Structure 1
């Protein structure tokens, strides 16, 4: 693995020849990130600048440096960190409102084209980005107004269990946004099979909801409502979803489907949170990027804990340091963050 650095014009500046620690975190439906700690040599200081592109030659994605720190505690050290270049989509907002009533891929094509790839205002265009939609057979019925473009797109991907990444081509210096669906893998992870080492299992229903009352246009008794109902008695957990921003005139006969889509999206954020965070034994019976990879569905077992999960790999963290390299894998969805909870009750 080699780390190449490109300047803001995407010209190759050089290769990082020495570092102390490198963390590369890939995420399925969200933007990944990285952190690099290196000696503060003249070469490293000249290469690792805010805005520079960092690319390791065994991965499709690249990162953009957003943070730079020089420190001296006995020796001079340089730390840089940032997110993958998918984060550049977040430099745009949805300028006004977008009504989305087609396949997920076409909806994301609409958002990217209107606000990043070929917007009406040429100052908003990012010429180095491209996207080619492919029908995923995932219908979307919603309206989004004035949100951050990256947040809106990753929320749609997360609700639909679709992955997103931005592929960097060093030869052309272009970025291609790609949607993908993780396939079923035959991999089985278990400490008993000696392919897992440290492991943490979490299971929380604190934020769980399975029934939603969705309120659309109107006031008082004239307001339009629809509902998604599941469970009864103590097993029924209710949530109100305010969808007043969805206008009937924008959806016509599909208005109820638009309200239901909003409800389904909010309930997806409020599912029971089960996750299995583990360090993978790289010398076990499974090979990273051959037997398993980000987004794939796998089986995770722990006989001692009585845990059996058919789940998706949602995050992979690669760590390189003086002791070699390791891989930490997150299976499933963790407990909701505060930001997700706030979105869920909007």
Structure 2
């Protein structure tokens, strides 16, 4: 992969500079949540003075590969060389700046795309909680793409939760991705969903994509199959106290295979909603199967043409007895003297930080 150029703009879409002589660049794209980027460049090179907080960068003139600078660091090595390090999330990281403000629980039922865009519009666009007395919450250059009603139908509710976490949970539950990209013509940051394609060997509509040692297109592989946090039967607790509290059982596994957990769903208004909330909460404690590897540029499958983020592909390692048909949930583009492409298929392995954020959110919802 050739190292891409990096363009710098402000929120008014004014071009402030272009850089292609950086020391290194890593750009990570994710399907269910925002990605991030990190650039290292020697201080004093042309346009490094434009790499300031809240400036937007995008690479290779691709509108969907864009991010906002949120971190700057200058380091000097033992030879006196000063290097500027910048980091930040992809544009979807702007959802981290809002919580789902609501007088009562904001409830909606519909296709996943409709539900996700409802919350994004309500808190960043021109929806109920971004206009009128909430007008200061609106970001004027934030827009919502036309709703194509993609994804499975789901009920959802939220109140004073991190907006980015709400959208991520909907995306994971409904298995649909999302992003915020640049619209230069209208000078907007546009929220939209990603559906992905089925490129596995289980279908015959599109040419299948297979990552395997036999094809010499993948190496440095890793595989995780974990049931440490897995639960498959939940007791969803609704409204009421003590013996009067409504309890709904979710799941029917039995014997040694049965793994139980209590699910606090006290915001549910009736038995149907309690069941829906219970199913969503139980799904968060799923079995984790993930695979990652370094993609080799052998020409068999071309990135962003034959396969891309969100596509479901086949991964095989006959030595490990492994065949997975999984979605590509993360792609890391690494541009250094030796450029690399790393992918992750299947489930993300939760980090300690993500676990703590989730725990705090659960405590807030139970208050």
Return the TM-score normalized by structure 1: 0.93
Check whether the contact 1:38–1:44 (CA below 8 A) recurs between aligned residues: no
| Alignment match, 1:281 | 296
Q: Distance in 1 between matches of 2:143 and 2:91?
A: 13
The answer to whether structure 1 residue 71 and structure 2 residue 110 are counterparts is: no
Q: For 1:274 and 1:215, how far apart are their aligned partners in 2? A: 29
- Candidates 43, 56, 60, aligned match of 2:59: 56
Aligned ranges 1:1-346 → 2 under 5 Å: 1-41=4-44, 43-61=46-64, 62-73=66-77, 74=79, 75-96=81-102, 97-118=105-126, 119-120=130-131, 121-131=134-144, 132-185=146-199, 186-246=208-268, 248=269, 255-323=270-338, 325-338=339-352, 341=355, 343=358, 346=362
Kindly state the Cα deviation for residue 9 of structure 1 after the two structures are TM-superposed.
Answer: 3.1
1:20 touches 1:37 (CA, 8 Å); kept in 2?
A: yes
Q: Unpaired runs of 5+ in structure 2?
A: 200-207, 363-367
Structure 1 regions of 5+ residues with no counterpart?
249-254
Residue 183 of structure 1: how far off its partner (Å) = 1.3
Deviation at 1:339, TM superposition (A): 5.0
C-alpha distance in 2 between matches for 1:20 and 1:150: 31
Classify 1:137/1:321 alpha carbon distance in 2 versus 1 (closer, same or farther; 3 Å): closer
1:52-86 CA-to-partner distances (Å, cap 9, x unmatched) read 10011353321000000111112111100000111
Give me the TM-score of the superposition, normalised by structure 2.
0.88
Q: Measured at CA, do residues 76 and 12 of structure 1 come closer, stay the same or move farther in structure 2, by a change above 3 Å?
A: same
- 1-structure distance, mates of 2:353, 2:281: 13
Secondary structure of the 1:140 match is strand
Within 2, Cα distance between the matches of 1:218 and 1:36?
A: 53
- Structure 2 CA distance for aligned equivalents of residues 76 and 36 of structure 1: 14
- Aligned-pair distance for 1:192? 2.0
CA contact (8 A) 1:297 1:311 kept: yes
Q: Mean alpha-carbon deviation: is it higher for 109-118 or for 77-86?
A: 109-118
C-alpha separation in 1, matches of 2:259 and 2:60: 48
1:312 and 1:168 map into 2 onto residues whose CA distance is 25
Deviations 1:193-246 (A, max 9, x none): 101011111111101111111011111221111121232111011111101122
Distance 1:153 1:309, change over 3 A: same
The separation in 1 between residues aligned to 2:355 and 2:188, in whole angstroms, is 35
- How far 1:135 sits from its partner (Å)? 1.2
How many residues are treated as equivalent by the alignment? 338
Cα shift at 1:284: 4.2
Separation in 2, partners of 1:334, 1:300: 16
Secondary structure (helix, strand or coil) at the match of 2:240 reads coil
Q: Structure 1 residues 144-153 or 58-67, which shifts more?
A: 58-67
* Pairwise CA distance, 1:293: 0.8
SS across alignment from 2:168: helix
Using a 3 Å threshold, how does the CA distance of structure 1 residues 47 and 171 change in structure 2: closer, same or farther? Answer: farther
- Deviation of 1:103 after TM superposition, in Å, equals 2.5
Structure 1 stretches of at least 4 aligned residues deviating more than 6 Å after TM superposition: none
The structure-2 alpha-carbon separation of the partners of 1:276 and 1:317, relative to structure 1 and needing over 3 Å to count, comes to same
